[in-house]
Structure 1
Amino acid sequence: MLELAGQAARTNNTKLINDWKNGLLVYKFALDEVNTKLEILNEEFQYIHNYNPIEHMKSRLKSPESIIAKLRRKDLEVTLDNAREHIHDIAGIRIICSFTTDIYKIMDLLSRQSDVQVLKVKDYIRSPKPNGYRSAHLLILIPVFLSDRVEQVPVEIQIRTVAMDFWASLEHKIYYKFDSEVPESITDQLKDSAELIDLLDKRMLAINEEVQDYKKDDPSILPIIIS
């Protein structure tokens, strides 16, 4: 009897996960839509300005297991409706740029598109988090055209420089290793490193702007192309 009960539980759990995967398919389509928009913008800059503001992009879709766990942490009933209403980072895209000016350029170009609705902007570059974290976050709504309806789907977009991304990746690994209980000496070093990375970003931007000034005076100087 116990074995039959265990099999039934596993079968129900598998069915639940499959139902969630089907219900969340629209978020995958939303990622496809936003990725296409960003790729078009980047290609346009390459052809017209001989310059790529986007170094690379990474998309991710939260797994049903991760969404269910987050709902439980929020003390919410585990339903698809609650997931759609209360969890806004099911679909996410991370954009890595060369310079901070590229970040704001992408934010502006994307938010001005007629079918993109910006719900929220968090600028952790101008106002970093206390631990030193820097990045720009956008929460947008994007229409997904299905066979029988149009759905407005939220997508979270994080935009940061290569240096910011390096810091964020290292910080994430450290917090995971220490189970979020990071020694103060290490958090202090991380914050100091964030300041150094901010200085590096500003210096690299200044160098790039100086190169552009030289290019105006001497057209034979090739632009810095980031691909």
Structure 2
Amino acid sequence: MQGKKTLSTLSEEELMLLQDYSWESTIQNFMNHMQVYNAGIKEIKTKLEILDEEFRTRYDYNPIHHIESRLKSPKSILGKIRAKGLSMTYESIRENITDIAGVRVICNYIDDIYRVADLLIGQDDVQLVRVRDYIKTPKPSGYRSLHLIVKIPIFLAESTELVAVEIQIRTIAMDFWASLEHKLKYKTGNIVSEELRERLKLCADSISSIDQEMQSIHTTLQQQQ
């Protein structure tokens, strides 16, 4: 009969498997708290839907085309923890990973993006943590979008928890480019030649010009009414 294995007698492969199991176990424990993040998504979506409905009622206009949402998978959370070298605790995950809950808001025009963002973060229970404006300062790839990290209170049966939610706000045109660019990179395993990267960026710039022209036309028509 073989002797009982201890940490000192485990092979490197076994140690890695044990480490992975431990991390997965921690993630699974964290998943028990995911309903709080799901509640955060619901809160933000409700706020946005109320704002959009108010605009429709008062101005006969909807600034929001549609809203999407997602929760990061345990595998994705685990990858981010490893990449950042974070400790495997719920508190560490909660404080350092701010995009577990995500909401994407697709607007009709560029001005709508900033209008919706200002109205949302102006609400008393919405705490703005960070803003990254990739519209005014696009990524080198040509990607454009307004990114917000906010925290909102979630009222539970016995406590109140502040939950971080990442909000991406972009136009239909920006979303069109970002979605196709993501699919193209996914098909090639994120390996894209410099020539194709440049072509994708030119497409992004062209779409941005169209976005601005559509905004100008929309503004002119509003002024004529």
**Residue 113 of structure 2 is aligned to residue 99 of structure 1:** no
Give the superposition deviation at 1:78: 2.8
Paired positions, count = 209
Q: Which moved more, 1:87-96 or 1:177-186?
A: 177-186
**Residue 65 of structure 2 is aligned to residue 55 of structure 1:** yes
- Return the alpha-carbon distance in structure 2 between the equivalents of residues 197 and 15 of structure 1: 45
- Return the alpha-carbon distance in structure 1 between the equivalents of residues 23 and 128 of structure 2: 36
CA deviation profile, 1:13-35 (whole Å, cap 9, x unmatched): 98655423212221111111111
Give the superposition deviation at 1:94: 0.3
Of the candidates 11, 36, 46, which is equivalent to residue 46 of structure 2? 36
Aligned to 2:215: 205
CA deviation profile, 1:70-112 (whole Å, cap 9, x unmatched): 1112222333222112111000100000000000001110111
**Residue 116 of structure 2 is aligned to residue 75 of structure 1:** no
Of the candidates 112, 127, 133, which is equivalent to residue 117 of structure 1? 127
CA deviation profile, 1:39-63 (whole Å, cap 9, x unmatched): 1000000111100000000011112
Q: Secondary structure at the match of 1:58?
A: strand
RMSD: 2.2
Kindly indicate whether the alpha-carbon contact (under 8 Å) linking 1:68 and 1:78 is maintained by their aligned counterparts in 2.
no
- Return the alpha-carbon distance in structure 2 between the equivalents of residues 188 and 16 of structure 1: 42
Where structure 1 has 5 or more consecutive residues not aligned to the other structure, the ranges are: 1-8, 216-227
Where structure 2 has 5 or more consecutive residues not aligned to the other structure, the ranges are: 1-17
Give the superposition deviation at 1:65: 2.2
- Return the alpha-carbon distance in structure 2 between the equivalents of residues 80 and 65 of structure 1: 15
**Residue 170 of structure 2 is aligned to residue 160 of structure 1:** yes
Kindly indicate whether the alpha-carbon contact (under 8 Å) linking 1:56 and 1:97 is maintained by their aligned counterparts in 2.
yes
CA deviation profile, 1:169-202 (whole Å, cap 9, x unmatched): 1111122222222101110001101110111001
Aligned to 2:150: 140
Change (3 A) 1:15 1:187: closer
Kindly indicate whether the alpha-carbon contact (under 8 Å) linking 2:27 and 2:78 is maintained by their aligned counterparts in 1.
no
Aligned to 1:173: 183
Of the candidates 201, 204, 221, which is equivalent to residue 194 of structure 1? 204
What amino acid is the match of 2:119?
L
Aligned to 1:221: none
Identity of aligned residues (%): 49
- Return the alpha-carbon distance in structure 2 between the equivalents of residues 13 and 194 of structure 1: 39
**TM norm structure 1:** 0.86
Of the candidates 57, 75, 93, which is equivalent to residue 65 of structure 1? 75
- Residues 206-225 of structure 1 correspond to what in structure 2 (within 5 A)? 206-215=216-225
- Return the alpha-carbon distance in structure 1 between the equivalents of residues 191 and 24 of structure 2: 34
Q: Secondary structure at the match of 1:77?
A: coil
Kindly indicate whether the alpha-carbon contact (under 8 Å) linking 1:98 and 1:161 is maintained by their aligned counterparts in 2.
yes
